[in-house]
């Protein structure tokens, strides 16, 4: 019996020598992993991804994606948050744009939205976003009539073409890229002032930027 007890004791010691360090490693991973990933905030894009104006929607999408990608690669907003994009299909229809505005507002992580690709869609959507207390950026010009010059920026053009499969950016992409960076600047300001950006602080930052 004594040899058997001795064998059992040795087995238990061996198991302990393996399991205890493994448990410690798991504990360290559990403690450190969440801190290694930055929290995220979101911006929205309401655009036509089906129907007659779908090309417009996808042109805007690639430009917004590029701006978000560049901002995240530079450290995000406020040095503390990465940015996610939420894209919803409004078919460039005023009533559908209002529906999508309400969906954007339900997601508390969304702090600002770009959209309004025709004058009537922009007008109705803007009223709804104002009611919901959510920042909304829309083109001031009718992009079908008033062309926005494409920035002579090699980084922008090359980055856009990398996402679009070689298609060069047009006026819609130029506006969407600039507007996205404007919104991201507002998120950055809000994050640095308050620590955590909110819809109210983003609206305030956009208002201050317009005044300057």
d(CA 112, CA 133): 10
> Model confidence over 148-192: pLDDT tens digits?
666 667 888 899 999 989 999 888 999 999 999 999 999 999 999
Question: DSSP class of residue 36?
Answer: G
pLDDT, tens digit only, all 212 positions of the chain: 444 434 344 433 444 444 444 433 333 333 334 455 889 999 999 999 999 899 999 999 999 999 999 999 999 999 999 999 999 999 999 999 999 999 999 999 999 999 999 999 999 999 999 999 999 999 986 665 555 666 667 888 899 999 989 999 888 999 999 999 999 999 999 999 989 999 999 999 999 876 55
3-class secondary structure, 188? helix
What lies within 8 Å, CB to CB, of 48 at 6+ separation is 54, 56, 57, 89, 90, 91, 92, 117
């Amino acid at each position: 019996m004594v040899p058997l007890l001795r064998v059992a004791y040795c087995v238990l010691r061996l198991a302990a020598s393996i399991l205890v360090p493994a448990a410690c490693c798991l504990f360290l991973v559990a403690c450190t992993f969440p801190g290694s990933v930055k929290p995220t905030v979101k911006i929205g894009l309401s655009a036509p991804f089906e129907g007659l104006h779908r090309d417009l929607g996808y042109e805007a999408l690639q430009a917004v994606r590029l701006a978000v990608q560049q901002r995240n690669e530079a450290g995000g907003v406020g040095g503390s948050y990465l940015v996610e994009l939420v894209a919803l299909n409004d078919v460039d229809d005023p009533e559908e744009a209002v529906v999508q505005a309400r969906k954007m507002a339900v997601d508390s992580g969304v702090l600002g939205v770009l959209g309004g690709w025709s004058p009537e869609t922009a007008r109705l959507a803007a009223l709804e976003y104002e009611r919901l207390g959510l920042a909304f950026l829309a083109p001031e010009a009718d992009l079908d009539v008033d062309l926005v010059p494409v920035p002579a920026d090699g980084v922008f053009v090359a980055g856009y073409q990398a996402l679009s499969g070689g298609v060069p950016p047009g006026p819609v992409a130029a506006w969407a890229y600039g507007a996205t960076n404007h919104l991201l600047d507002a998120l950055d300001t809000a994050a640095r002032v308050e620590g955590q950006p909110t819809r109210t602080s983003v609206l305030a930052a956009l208002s201050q930027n317009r005044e300057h």
